Structure 1
C-alpha cells in the first residue's frame, strides 16, 4: 500500500533537495500524519479558502513577526504546514507559535522556485483526485506511484535515481539526491535535464546507445558539474520508448545490480502505462460528472457530490476556441481543446481547491465556487496567461445556488460564448455585457427557422445592388451606424461626403424609405443587422 500524501511523505520525497523541516514533528503530531487536503498559495490581500489540512506556500512571507501571525491564523484553520523561503528566521516567539498552532514550519531551499515546488507538491497529491477506484499494486508498489518506485530502485542500486520521459523531463525521483552532483540537482529543481547536459549526452551518442538496446548503459562523467558517473536503462513498452531510468553511481554496478535495473525498467513501464491510461479514465470520468451536473437531470446532484461541489453555490465558466465549432473533426483542434481544458483545470484548481473543469463537446466548462465578478477575473487571468497563441473566449454564467440553477447558468454561459465567437471584440463577458447581441442572435434563429427574407425598403435596396452592382444597402448601413453623420459615414466608406450624400438620396428614392421616420430607421437597422447573422 502506498503511504498517504501526508506531511511526512512530502518530507521523505522532497526533503534534503527542496524542503527543510524547521519546526514540527510529523512522526508524532496527528495532524501532520493526516492526508494533505490541498496546496494553497498565501495571499495577504485576498485570503484564500483553505481545505482541511492544507499545506500553505508563504510566498513573500519573510520576517519573523509576519510568520508568527500567519502560523497562528493557519492554526485556527487547521492547516498542516507553512512553507517559507529559507533561511527561516529564528526566535523563541516563532518556535512557540509553531508549537501552539500545530502548524509545521518548513523552509524552501534557495534557488528553487515556488512554481517548481507547487508543481511537485500537486504531483504528489494527484492520486487522491476523483475517480480513484481503489488501491492497485504493480511490483509491490501502488500502481502509478513513480516516486515510491524510484525510492525502491534507489534502495536496490544504493544510488539516487530519476525516472525521466523521452524528452528528459523528470517524472519522479528518489531521495538522497543531495549525494549526487550539480547537474542532478539542477535536473531535480527544473524537473528537466538542462539543455547543455542533454546536448552533451546527445553528442556523445549516449541516447542513441540507450534507446537501441534494453541493456543498461554506463556513462562516464564529463566535467565538474557532471562529476558522478551514471548508469541508465531505457523504459520501453514493445517498440515504444517511454523514457529511461538514471542512477548516479560512484562505480560501475555489478551484474546483479545491472539485472535489477533491467527488471526495474519493466516495472516502470507498467507504471507509466497505468498512469497514461489512468489519466484518460480520470479525464473521462470528470467529463461525465461535469456534463451530468450541467444538464441538471436526475443524476446532477450525485455528480455534484462526487465533484465535491454539492454544498455550495458555483459560477459557470465556459471557454471556447475562436474559429471552431462542434462540427469540426480536425485532430489538431481536438488536441488544442483538450490542452485548454487541462490548463483551465489546473488554473481553477490553484484558485480554489474545490473546483472542476472538463471538455464537454467543443466547450471547456469550469465550476468554481466564487461569485460572478471573481469568475470574470479568473477567466481573464487565465486567458492572459494562455496568450494570443491560443485564441479563446470565455462566457461567464451566473452563480447557481442549487442543482436546478446549474443548467440555466450553463445555458447563459453558452449564449455569451455564441456572441463572443462571432467576433464581438471581447475575450470575457457576462450576459449583461452582450445582451443586445445575444437577443439579435436569438431573433436571427427565429428568422432562419421560419424562412423569412428581407422585405420592404431593405429588400428593394439589396435587389437594386445585385442588378446594378451598387452599394446602396451598405450606404444605408453606414449612415445608420454613424447616427446620421454623413461625414463620418463617408469616411467609413472611403468616399467623398458629397458622393455619400448623393448615394443617400438614391437610397431614399430606390427604397423607398423616409429617413426622417424613426420607425423606418429602426426597421431598416434591424433587418440589416440580421442579414448574415449565423
Structure 2
C-alpha cells in the first residue's frame, strides 16, 4: 500500500475539519502518523509525522514549528487560524489548523484513522483506535490514561512521554486485569453509579489519585476511562474526559461489531475447512489452526427433550468456545447442523494468530519503562493494583483432549440441563486432514450413549468400523446378498432361532459350550440347530471365509450380536 501524502490526507479530512495554511514542500510529502506531544520534552525524530500542537496557542507555536522541522516532521497542526505561517514557510514545514473548539483527542483519532495508523497488536479486533484515543485523552488532560472493559480488563493505555506514573501503573500491565479487592470494588461501585467524572483517592501510600469516567451507550455500561492525577491535570480535564468517554463508547461498539463480523467469517472459513471445500494451508493460517490436531464434536443428547434446541445449541457453542479458549487460547469453534466442532492442538502444537504470531486484544504495546533494573512493558493499573501472579500455563496434549471433553460435557450438562455427548476424531498431521478427523468424530457421535458419553475414535474403533461397513454393504448389492438372508427368511417362516444360535456361536469363538451359555440352552441343542441350519440354508460352516462373511453380514446388516440376542 502506498504511503499517505499530505494531499491524500486533505482529500479525506480537508474542508471545515482541517485547513491547510501553507505547504512549502508541496502536498506530495508523506504523512506517516499523527503525533501528540505535550511540549515538556524534546521532540523525537519522526520523519513524516504530523505534530498536533496540544497545549500551545496558535500564535505562540513558532518555536514548536522550528522544533518540528529539526525533528523531520512533515507539518504542524494548531488550533485556531492565527498560526505562524511565516515560520512554517521559512523552515519548510506544512502548517494546518483545526477549529478553536475542536477536541484534540477527536482530531488525533480522525487523522490517525485517515492515515491508517492503527496499532498492529489490536487491528484484528477493532480495538486499535482505543490506543490512539488513550493517547489523545492523556495529552488533553495531562494524565496517563487507560481504558477498561466492565470486567476491569485493560483494553488500551496511553504512552505519552513525560507524564507521571506510579508503581501501580507499572505493575498492572503485567496482568492486564485489575486485581480484586474490597477497596477496588468500592471505587468501581462509586464510578459506575455516576454519570460524570469521579475523583478517586490513591489506595496505596505511594500511589497517585485517579480521575475516572464510566463509558456507556444507552443504558449499557461498556467500560471506563481512568486518568492518573499527578497534580498537573489540565483545568478542563473533566470535560476532556467526558468527550473521551463518549468517543470510547463509539469505538467499543464498533469493536464489538468488528469482532462479531470476524467471528462470523472465521466460523464460515472453519466450516469449509471441516467440509474439505477450501484450500487448507491458507485457511489454517488465517484461523490460527496448529499443524497436528484433531476435531472434537459436541452435541446435545437426541433422546433428551429440549424445548428450544437451536438456542440451546448456541449456548453449547459458547460453553465449548470458552473452555477451549481457557485451555488453548485463541481457538477455532463452529456450530454446524446442531453439532459444535472444535479443533484441538496435538501435543507440541501451538495455536497461532495471523502471520504465525499469537496476539490477543489485550497484548501490551512495545513501549517499556525501567523498573528495578529490569525492562518491563509499561502499562496502567487504574486503582489499587498489586503485582499479578504468573498466569497458569495452558495445558496441551493428546492425553488432555479426553479430559477436556469430559469437563466440557459435565459443565455443559449442568449449565444447559441437557445431557451432552462428545466425540474425538483421529489426530491428523495438518489442516488438510481435519475433514477426515471431523468425519471420525461424526461416526463416534453415532455410537455414543448414556453409558459412554465421551470417546475417542480409537476407543470405539470396532464399533465405528462396523457402522461404516454396514453402510457400505447396505449400498452395494453384491455385499448385501448371501446366505444371511436365507437364514433370516427361514427363521421368519418356521419360527426357528437359527440366526440367534449362529451369532452366539460366532461370538463365543465357535465354542459350542460358550454359545449354549449365551443362549441359555444345552450344548446339544446348539449343536443340533447348527446342523439343521447347514441343511436348510445351504451354509458351509467348515469354510472359514463363509463363516467370516456370514458373521459380518449378520452383525453389520442384521445388527445381531451375542450381547443382544
TM-score, length-scaled by structure 2: 0.49
The counterpart of 2:183, out of the listed 171, 191, 200, is: 200
For the residues of structure 1 that align with 2:223 and 2:522, how far apart are their CA atoms?
71
Residue of 228, 232, 235 corresponding to 2:208: 228
Structure 1 residue 331 corresponds to structure 2 residue 311: yes
Distance 1:485 1:344, change over 3 A: farther
Which aligned pairs between 1:151-166 and structure 2 lie closer than 5 A? 151-166=135-150
Work out whether 1:267 is the aligned partner of 2:247. yes
Aligned residues: 369
Contact residue 201 and residue 207 of structure 1 kept, 8 A: yes
Q: Which residue of 1 aligns with 2:153?
A: 169
Query: Is it true that 1:321 corresponds to 2:306 in the alignment?
Result: no
2:222 paired residue number: 242
Instruction: Give the C-alpha shift of residue 215 in structure 1.
Output: 0.8
Equivalent position of 2:173 in the other structure: 188
**Partner residue in 1 for 2:550:** 523
Flag the structure with larger Rg. Answer: 2
Q: Quick check: which one's helix share is greater?
A: 1
SS for the counterpart of 2:211 is strand
- Counterpart for residue 414 of structure 1: 438
Match of 1:284 among 252, 257, 264: 264
1:237/1:420 CA distance change after superposition, 3 Å: same
Bigger CA drift: 268-277 or 252-261? Answer: 252-261
Deviations 1:206-239 (A, max 9, x none): 33332233211222233437x3222221111101
- Measure, in 2, the Cα distance between the counterparts of 1:176 and 1:482: 80
Shift of 1:285: 2.0
Runs of 5+ in structure 2 lacking a partner? 5-32, 37-43, 47-117, 352-394, 410-421, 535-539
Listed one character per residue, the Cα deviations across residues 72-117 of structure 1 (whole Å, up to 9, x for unaligned) are xxxxxxxxxxxxxxxxxxxxxxxxxxxxxxxxxxxxxxxxxxxxxx
CA distance in 2, matches of 1:162, 1:209: 18
What whole-Å deviation, never above 9, does each CA across 1:283-338 have from its counterpart, x for those lacking one?
222333444456566xx45x9657758xxx9777433126568x993435424435
Q: How far, CA to CA, are the matches of 1:183 and 1:441 in structure 2?
A: 61
Separation of aligned partners in 2, 1:216 and 1:462: 86
Cα offset, 1:194, TM superposition? 0.7
- 2:237 is matched with 257
Matched, 1:390 2:375: no
- Answer with 446-455 or 332-341: which moved more: 446-455
Give the counterpart of 1:444 among 448, 467, 470. Answer: 470
Instruction: Check the 8 A contact 1:460/1:510 in 2, yes or no.
Output: no
SS of the residue 2:407 aligns to: coil
Give the secondary structure class of the aligned counterpart of 1:145: helix
Question: By how many angstroms is 1:529 displaced?
Answer: 5.5
Per-residue CA shift, 1:443-470, capped at 9, x if unaligned?
33357779999967689999999x99xx
**1:364 aligns to what?**
341
Task: Note the C-alpha offset of 1:169.
Answer: 1.8
Say if 1:144 and 1:274, in contact at 8 Å, map to a contact too.
Answer: no
Residues 233 and 245 of structure 1 are in contact (CA less than 8 Å); yes or no, is this contact kept in structure 2? yes
State the distance in 2 between where 1:181 and 1:374 align. Answer: 39
Distance 1:387 1:419, change over 3 A: closer
Q: Unaligned 5+ residue runs, structure 1?
A: 13-25, 29-122, 133-141, 351-355, 491-497
Supply the distance in 1 between the matched residues of 2:519 and 2:284 (Cα, whole angstroms): 63
Cα distance, 1:379 vs structure 2: 6.7
- The answer for the alignment partner of 1:94 in structure 2 is none
CA RMSD of aligned residues (A): 5.8
Q: Which has the higher contact order (CA 8 A, sep 6+)?
A: 2
Kept after mapping to 1: 8 A contact 2:274/2:435: no
Q: Which residue of 1 aligns with 2:191?
A: 210
CA contact (8 A) 1:150 1:173 kept: yes
C-alpha separation in 2, matches of 1:396 and 1:149: 47
**Aligned in 2, Cα 1:429/1:254: closer, same or farther, shift over 3 Å?**
same
Cα deviation for residue 532 of structure 1 reads 9.0
Give the equivalent residue in structure 2 for 1:53: none
- By how many angstroms is 1:438 displaced? 4.0
Partner SS, residue 236 of structure 2: helix
Distance 2:501 2:252 in 1: 61
CA distance in 1, matches of 2:438, 2:556: 21
| 1:150 maps onto 2:130 in alignment | no
Residues 218 and 252 in structure 1, CA contact (< 8 A), matched pair in contact too:
no
Tell me the CA shift for residue 281 of structure 1: 1.0
Q: Report the alpha carbon displacement of residue 358 of structure 1 after superposing the two structures with TM.
A: 5.1
User: How many Å separate the matches in 2 of 1:414 and 1:264?
Assistant: 47
